[in-house]
Structure 1
Amino acid sequence: MARLRTSQRTYALTAALIMGSSTLGTSGCFWGIVGQGPSLGIAGLPIPISPYLQEKEEDKYWQHERYDRVPILGPITSGGAPIALDTPSDDEVMRALEKARPVEGGIPLLWERNRNDVRIIKEKIADYVDPVRVYPMIGPAQQHHAHYKCTIYYEDVRRVGWPVPHTLRDEDAREVVYIDHNHLHMVGDVDGGTGI
């Protein structure tokens, strides 16, 4: 038996790798480079995402879906002053408070902060309707404003773990958050009828 030279071994190894990769690509078990049916290619592989980023995106979507949109309601009926009926929810008030004065985070056993025994008082401070104007993509409408003053009473607990563990409690902590609720009322022929 004659020994193969190094160049022949390299040639044989290269040919075996090419044959193996081509059969793997056509088997349908690879990334779908050559397979049957539609494929996402390399984008079909699952990519892990951290729970922090996932929770951040979910909160962003929740905020947009619940509180960042301006609803368009029917026309204001005659016979009385229009009154805003939707007071801010407790979730909306706490989100506004977290945006203004965040508490999340801290380092366990080193420094932590909590809000306990939360009580919320909501007061309407203004409720008025603007004159009619034309809004792009909506048409003639009136904007209805409702302004609320939300006072949050809570117990502020701070736990410090280093150098000497101790707890600081402020039982009479309070914060004030102002929340605006705006929505539009259509004006005129909202059904789009021809009037014939």
Structure 2
Amino acid sequence: MAGLSWMEVLKSAKKTSITHDGKRKVHYLFKDGKEMAEEYDLKTEELIVRKWRHKSPLGAQGQWQMEIGEPLTSSASSSDSDVIKESSSNPVFMRKDTKSTFQWRIRNLFYPKDVFSVFVEPSERSIVIKTSNKKYYKKFSVPDLDRSELPLDSSALSFTHANNTLIVSYTKPKEILGAEQELQEELRKLTSTLIPS
């Protein structure tokens, strides 16, 4: 995939599409064996889920890794009292984009907004969230910008805090918006298998 733009990589992937429950689900199989699955809201064309799966060095199917959407829950049922589980009050980090922004939500952060500091770390191509009370720290990249080889721009970053949830927004650059529109046009050409609800 070296030398190809992200859009060219997407276009050359083997794609299958199904429509179910008001969502278009698209599965991509890339030439290097990686898989990507996306779910779009049919009405708004908003991306709800993006997850990745890689084969292990021995060729076995790996676990799906979430990039966008609710974190995958473990298969252990809540009645398993002997299973060690994360506390339900721990911070939950997830990405949930809008049409115009990349957006991350961190639930269960019970501190006032002025405790938070959110900034870009250009040398590491990361966004950093930290608290002045040293209770929370998170560093994460924006895979979409990395794949398109676009720089991080501090002026595109903003955050708000309400209902114990920190919402970090990053305005999508015009290159990303253009690529997303191009991808939607590409996906509309796919024949989608309709699965009745």
TM-score, with structure 2 as normaliser = 0.20
Higher helix share: 1
TM-score, with structure 1 as normaliser = 0.20
